[in-house]
Each structure stands twice: as C-alpha cells, then as structure tokens.
C-alpha cells in the first residue's frame, strides 16, 4: 500500500516533564500553530495505560490540523491510541515485526546512528517511511543518547539513504539553517520546543530558519 509521504520539515518529539505547567497537549497545539508538521508522542516513564490516555488527549488536540501523530517505541499501542504510526530505535522491536503489527497503512520510522545501520536497513529493504539520524550534536534531552555524529556524519547517512532523513540531537533555530544543505528532509526537536515558555514562537523560529535556509 502506498502511504502519503510525511511532511518532515519540523518534527516534534514530546517530553511530558519538559512541558511542565504549560502542559503537553497545550504545548503540542501551540507548536503546531507555529509550524510543526509531525508530532511524536514519547514518554518512556509512562505505563502503557498512561501513554494511551495521554496519546488520546494529544490526538484529540490535533483534530482538524491534519498533523500526523507518531508513537515512540510502543508499536502495540498505535491502534489503541488511534495514532498514524510508530517510531522505533535500534534496540526496539525488529523492523519486520513492527511493520507486521502496524499493518501496511501506518507510518514507520527508524533511528539510525551511523552508516552501518543505514546499510543494514537498505540491504534488508525494510518497509520504512523515514529515518531519524543523529544525534548530530550533543543533547541533554535523552540520557542514553549516542555520541554526536556531526554534520559530516549526517550527510554521509542522508546521501546514501533511500528514505527521507530527519536530523535530531542538539538542533535549535540557530543550527537549523545550515541543515537543509546536508540532504535531510527536516529537523526533529525536543527541548527546543517542549522546554520553551512560548512553544508557538519557538516552532515558528525553527520553521523560519528551515524555510530561509539555502
């Protein structure tokens, strides 16, 4: 089945704690108003039941926007939440198993850290929609993040990838402007939106930096 390609220009990965008193749903809604094009629900500390409840609130908050909701890691909860797909890492479910659970109509993204992981995906011809590549720079948003690969590492993966790539890790508005030339389809952020007092303005600055880049 052919899936409509995702608009990956500004990909928000949520962090419930970082949203603080502003609240996750409000943060997501404001970020979408500012230009976010995809939302990934990520809360590794939540139980399955808690994530489903949170996901349904976020999905309701996205109604009428046309913005897809992706679930991090927990592929088995996508249908229960009513989300549009899932994103998995190298240590999560194998891609074929994740695709089998999701079915052919849902989106599936995969995190890759290096060229070797890209080549494994290519050689197996996995049914993916995009790759999350990084961390490009050092990040404090994920305690278990790998060492930064830099813009050169990002380019190496993006140039050989048959799937659109999203840069993640240490991305902010200042750095976003130079990333379109690396061959990626967009940027993914956590703290650059979730940790900000005005998510809409933060998202707008990121989108502007992307759109204005050469």
Among residues 9, 27, 3, 15, the alpha carbon closest in space to that of 142 is found at 15
59 belongs to the catalytic site: no
Q: What is the pLDDT of residues 18-69, one digit of tens each?
A: 999 999 999 999 999 999 999 999 999 999 999 999 999 999 999 999 999 9
Q: Is 42 part of the annotated catalytic residue set?
A: yes
Establish whether 73 is an annotated binding residue: yes
> Does the active-site annotation cover 79?
no
Write down the pTM of the prediction. Answer: 0.95
Is 100 known as a binding-site position? no
Q: What is the pLDDT of residues 112-161, one digit of tens each?
A: 999 999 999 999 999 999 999 999 998 776 666 689 999 999 999 999 99
Backbone angles phi, psi at 195, to 5 degrees: -95, 15
Decide if 62 contacts 36 (C-beta within 8 A): no
Catalytic entry in 9, 29, 42, 99: 42
| Residue in this structure with the two tokens 């990040």, named with its chain if needed | 139
> How far is it, in rounded angstroms, from Cα 52 to Cα 62?
15
Question: Which is the catalytic residue, given 99, 111, 180, 207?
Answer: 111
Q: Is 191 annotated as a binding residue?
A: yes
Integer Cα distance of 47 and 32 in angstroms: 26
CATH architecture of 10-212: Alpha-Beta Barrel (3.20)
pLDDT score of 214: 66
pLDDT value of residue 212: 87
For the chain, the structural domain boundaries read: 10-212
**Given this model, what pLDDT does residue 144 score?**
65
Q: Is 48 marked as binding a ligand? A: no
Q: What percent of the chain has pLDDT over 90?
A: 91
User: How far out from the chain centre does Cα 182 lie?
Assistant: 18
Among residues 59, 5, 71, the alpha carbon closest in space to that of 32 is found at: 59
Q: pLDDT (tens digit, 9 = 90+) per residue, 70-92? A: 999 999 999 999 999 999 999 99
């Amino acid at each position: 089945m052919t899936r409509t390609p995702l608009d990956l220009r500004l990909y928000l990965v949520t962090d419930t704690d970082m949203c603080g008193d502003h609240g996750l749903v409000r943060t997501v809604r404001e970020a979408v108003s500012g230009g976010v094009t995809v939302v990934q629900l990520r809360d590794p500390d939540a139980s399955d039941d808690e994530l489903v409840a949170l996901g349904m609130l976020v999905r309701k908050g996205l109604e009428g926007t046309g913005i897809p909701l992706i679930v991090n890691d927990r592929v088995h909860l996508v249908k229960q939440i009513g989300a549009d797909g899932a994103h998995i890492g190298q240590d999560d479910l194998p891609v074929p198993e994740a695709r089998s659970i999701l079915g052919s109509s849902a989106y599936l993204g995969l995190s890759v850290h290096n060229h070797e992981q890209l080549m494994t995906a290519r050689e197996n011809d996995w049914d993916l929609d995009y790759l999350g590549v990084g961390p490009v720079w050092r990040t404090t948003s994920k305690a278990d993040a790998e060492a930064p690969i830099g813009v050169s590492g990002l380019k190496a993966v993006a140039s050989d990838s048959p799937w659109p790539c999203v840069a993640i890790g240490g991305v902010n508005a200042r750095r976003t402007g130079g990333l379109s030339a690396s061959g990626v389809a967009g940027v993914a952020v956590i703290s650059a939106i979730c940790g900000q007092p005005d998510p809409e303005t933060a998202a707008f600055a990121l989108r502007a930096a992307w759109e204005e880049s050469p």
